[in-house]
Chains A and B, each alone.
Chain A
């Protein structure tokens, strides 16, 4: 168990390093340099800036310096606004993004599981069809489309809920729902097929042959086992939530990290892009690591082999 954790941790670090290196190289492979565009800059200022951002040093040195910075959780200064660092952006934006992301994740998991279970227990009857139609729509409608439709109808036409900014809870409803829809649909489908498979297993018959009541079998035997595949994809689902949130934050004008990332893209603010990519990747890799370890607790078969299936 300990060795497994260590091994997984090692992998997480290697992966993070790969992400940092790839991102770093990509950002520095851009022809010219970010200040060249701002044509009328005096020579001295230009040189100062080059020096300030370490751009006058060889790439290897820059890479080393950047890694050192990162080790101290310092993502460096932003290019466009000279007084703000990337860390400031993260400190301001991340709590908002986290709030949105968690809310969406909870909605996605809770409703995804509920719909999946209900569908599987009513196979080929109307609750199954309703859940599955909903989830097919869910995976077919990209979050930004759903978001714009919700804004148009729920907010603009019917005036039911407010949009834009992030001031009260009611502001969070539409963005969370837009963001949650696709992962929810995905979880519902996965849970349904997983449940159907588990319900056909011999040990369900064993439990029935013991005289256990149906609802107990569903909770203690079926769901407990059917949920395992869902847990394994939580990492990917979260990754999709994060990338989905870039757009959702942009559409709803939510002052989170996603909005800052997108702004960074528009402004070609490379330290911001670099910093937030690494930050996102670190969070996701950490989450996948947590999910892997958590999995060993809910699936006892993993422990003994020390390998995921």
Chain B
């Protein structure tokens, strides 16, 4: 038990440590550490020096003896500054502690009590949040009385509402997750659900926010003390020192500047450290903001490594797209991860080719690489990449960009992500024609309406003025396709275009793609995990496994003439309307190869019933079998997808091996 407990907490530790590796994180962590050390040690070590009254050295400026000068009783300000760290930090932490506790309670109460009381608390918190913090603090200071305790309570209560709201939001998001529903079903009560299931999952962002909050409390406290509402003499914190130093600011500026600087440095230490950790957690912070558009990487040329023939069809002269030796890789913690490892194929005019494979087999990365959309820090290489006869590997030119912009269309699984939610559909479609075809706005809008009609969006003109969220899922996907055919594309790459859609709507979208292909002689690259769907729409199917094409075959051959054991296993695993209900379903044992650690030899060997020594030693190349059929396997044999392994109660052992 304990070993795996560490496994879970190790993740957390790793994330916090990752923050230390960023420059801001490292610097702020060092600052924070020194501030905290000073807060503990300074009062113990230097209280004597700081309290020592020297009437002969009153209100002196900086000197070698007194680096920051002295105050009206001749006490050394440098030591007072150091010693004040203790009280300043202690009070800030105390106030934050109160804020966190009150905030947690206020934030958690709505989820524990009845709906009505919960709503009341929420409303109260919302009003309190809208109140300016310092005003709230001063209000509380008046209530609790002027002094240290009053100020701590004041700042604590003033920070509580925003913390309560954060807690509430975090709890609400977690509460929607299915494991909370499962716990409810198991009869776990509300309080237990909160303690066991919700709090551990929101602790990290709360701790980060509390750290940032401590910095703000420090500033606020200095403010109150400075105004005379906080620490009272003879006690002193930085705010108090600032207040005293300000009296003679024209004579001894250092006496006021130094405590001010101390407040800023300590406040920043807390704030920056919190921000740095938040960033590595991916939690939103006020400063994170939306970065610039992700940087795309361009494919670079490499020499052909082997004698790979990119094309199988004899129609190469009319090829729309030709790619050889395509590699995509990303830097990983333990060496590079290579999701695409040498993909070669070509697409003829008007040809529909499907790409199938399990999740993680590299389908999407292949598509992104072809569209030159792989994001930094990925790298893309190929020995050949031609689109409509143009070499895409040599340096880019405006003409090439133009060609890619008008003739290459990409359709994604989630059109909501590809449309800008704040712009009308019409504007977004028109933009394409304006940018790539040099149309004016009116022409472009007319074209957009025409294209929407072409993809059978009813009431196209009216729809142009609508926003993406006003479209249903199927409609959005059609609009996305409409955007792709704003120009005259020679190729549409569609990555899981119907996975998010219902069966009947899925049929509509596929029908539309087929129509466009027929009418405009457009080539289609359809990526899907669904073999039957691909077989239905495409003429040729590329089967991918672990970043490679392992079989390239005519769709008509899928059912009975496939050669690769993986293709056959996939086919056998899909239940259809004829599957025998009295037999267990066929399964593909084991789990897909890990792209960061692809085994030597055939990547499928550990799951293949036909694997032998040869397979585990040498990697089979994709070789031509007969016209239009390529396969990468040492022992190809025709099959209809026999059962690979169907024993049910056995897999315990097999699954053990499955674990990583």
Chains A and B are bound partners? no
Chain A positions within 8 Å of B, measured between CB atoms, are none
Residues of B within 8 A of A (CB): none
